[in-house]
Chains A and B, each alone.
Chain A
Amino acid sequence: MYVAVKGGERAIENAHRLLADERRGDRTLPSITLEQIAGQLSLAVDRVMAEGSLFDRDLAALAVKQARGDLIEAIFLIRAYRTTLPRFGATHPIETAAMRVRRRISATFKDLPGGQLLGPTFDYTHRLLDPDLAGDPDLPAPALRPELPTAMPRVTDLLGNEGLIEADPAETGEPVGDLTREPLSFPADRDLRLQGLARGDEGYLLALAYSTQRGYGRTHPFVGEIRMGEVEVEIDVPELGFSVVIGRITVTECQMVNQFKGSAKAPPAFTRGYGLAFGHQERKAMSMALVDRSLRAGELGEDRTAPAQDEEFVLSHCDNVQSTGFVEHLKLPHYVDFQAELDLVRRMRTEVAEKREAAE
């Protein structure tokens, strides 16, 4: 039997009205604009784009505002929005080698063509709170060092020339897996794993990546390269018969270089883990690269003993919208379910008591 209980409408309506008021905050202060969120909380916006799996800065800024800064809620809003739009197709794979680079570092090679470009980084800051930022201090303009464009080859391509590192997996012509169209099943190919990780929760991936460093599926990583900047997005337009560039997006790429002691078939060489994320998402890209590599354990003939090597465990729990949906649904009314359990426990207690009495 299913009994519907009504009566929450007024309470819900008023709760949402109260939420809107709390969101607005002190009404004597100006409302925060989307431009301010996109411009000054840009990394929050980037995270919402990466995990919302939708590149659109304005929408992500709106989601951050609507969610009162709760990023998982904002990601949820973006995921819901994307389901309302038709998909026109897929882009050509982006060319990160042709990126307009705004940051590019390597922890493996000091001198590399194009150099080490720190860009806008928190690295080497002292992590001391800056009281001046409580106001609106005057800032010097960025320093300039005008120069001609220089080629910035990927570090892994440089190493690859010597055969010391595995090559990129060659294109097979097989259709690209899409976990937004087909439910994920296991074993999952690397294309699906990377898609899952790219939209996966940063905190979760960070914890898993950290676990591999602490010994749970050790992979001996080095950062071959991190680069961040703008890449062109190009699509085929059937009615034109040629492809066109439709704009640029910001992405962060991480190439992790890992030890591999070789196998019966392959001589010792460096192996690779790959991370790629929308926006400036360095921690995310690094964590993704570490987890990508550890999920390749089976393919590389390594023992699969740690959580970060278990693709079913990693991929089934990395989506924070799914996770939050299942965890948070527990707070919705379960009165009837609980009533049944309560009844059961009471009956069991009665039975136990009766047995005890009979035995005495």
Chain B
Amino acid sequence: MLHSQTSETSPPSDRRAAMALLAQAPRTLMAAGLEGIEEADGASDVRAPEIGLVMVRGRMGGGGRPFNLGEATVTRCTVRLPDGTIGVAHLLGRDRARARLAAICDALWQRVETREAIEARVLAPVREARAAEDATVRAETAATRVDFFTMVRGED
């Protein structure tokens, strides 16, 4: 499998983080973000988007031995850019177009020339949207926190 130079120099943890964000990225955002990036148009399918299942596991008691909880739908896709960079995506759900866009974004992210564009146009907005959503959920949930107080009764 061909790798662009940058994929070997970039630590996988960064790419992991980028892929985790891409997994949450809306299709329209990625499509808009890829506009005008020439390499994106030249991407070809190594493995066309494919829908399947993953078995989601839990742990007994939350932290113990694993068990099978149930399945979830997943779409996976692998693309190759004209320069040989391989992009991969695995996302929950059954949106083939979204999986292909995420794979293209992953490939572009690995190249020094296009990483900045992907960061700015796709990853940053997703990161912000996610942080905002989480903050709202946290604030809504925190508003339902019980603030206990003790009533002193009787004479003693």
Measured CB to CB, the residues of A under 8 A from B are 49-50, 53-56, 58-59, 82, 85-94, 96-97, 100-103, 110-111, 115-119, 142-147, 149, 154, 156-157, 167-172, 176-180, 190-192, 194-195, 198-199, 232-233, 235, 237, 239-249, 251, 253, 255, 272, 274, 276-278
Contacts and interface: CB of A to CB of B under 8 A. Distances in A.
Contact of A96 (B53, B62, B67, B78): B62
B104 interface: no
B94 A157 contact: no
B42 interface: no
Contacts of A247: 23-24, 91-93
A318 B135 CA distance: 39
B52 A88 contact: yes
B54 A233 contact: yes
A117 B54 contact: no
A142 B78 contact: no
Contacts of B62: 96-97, 154, 156-157, 168, 253, 255, 274
B88 A195 contact: no
The contact size tier of chain B is 35 or more
Given A145-B142, A191-B68, A244-B16, 4 more contacts: A58-B93, A198-B58, A243-B16, A248-B92
Given A91-B56, A195-B68, A198-B69, A116 B140 contact: no
Contacts of B64: 167-171
B55 A87 contact: yes
Nearest to B134: A100
B121 to A, nearest CB: 21
A239 B60 contact: no
A58 B52 CA distance: 15
Interface of B: 1, 12, 15-16, 19-20, 23-24, 50-74, 76, 78, 88, 90-94, 134-146, 148
Nearest to B144: A118
A28 B55 CA distance: 43
Contact of B140 (A143, A237, A241): A143
Given A55-B56, A144-B136, A190 B67 contact: yes
Contacts of B73: 54-56, 59, 85
B142 A147 contact: yes
Nearest to A81: B73
B130 to A, nearest CB: 10
A59 B70 CA distance: 15
A147 B71 CA distance: 34
A94 B138 CA distance: 20
B75 to A, nearest CB: 9
A82 B53 contact: yes
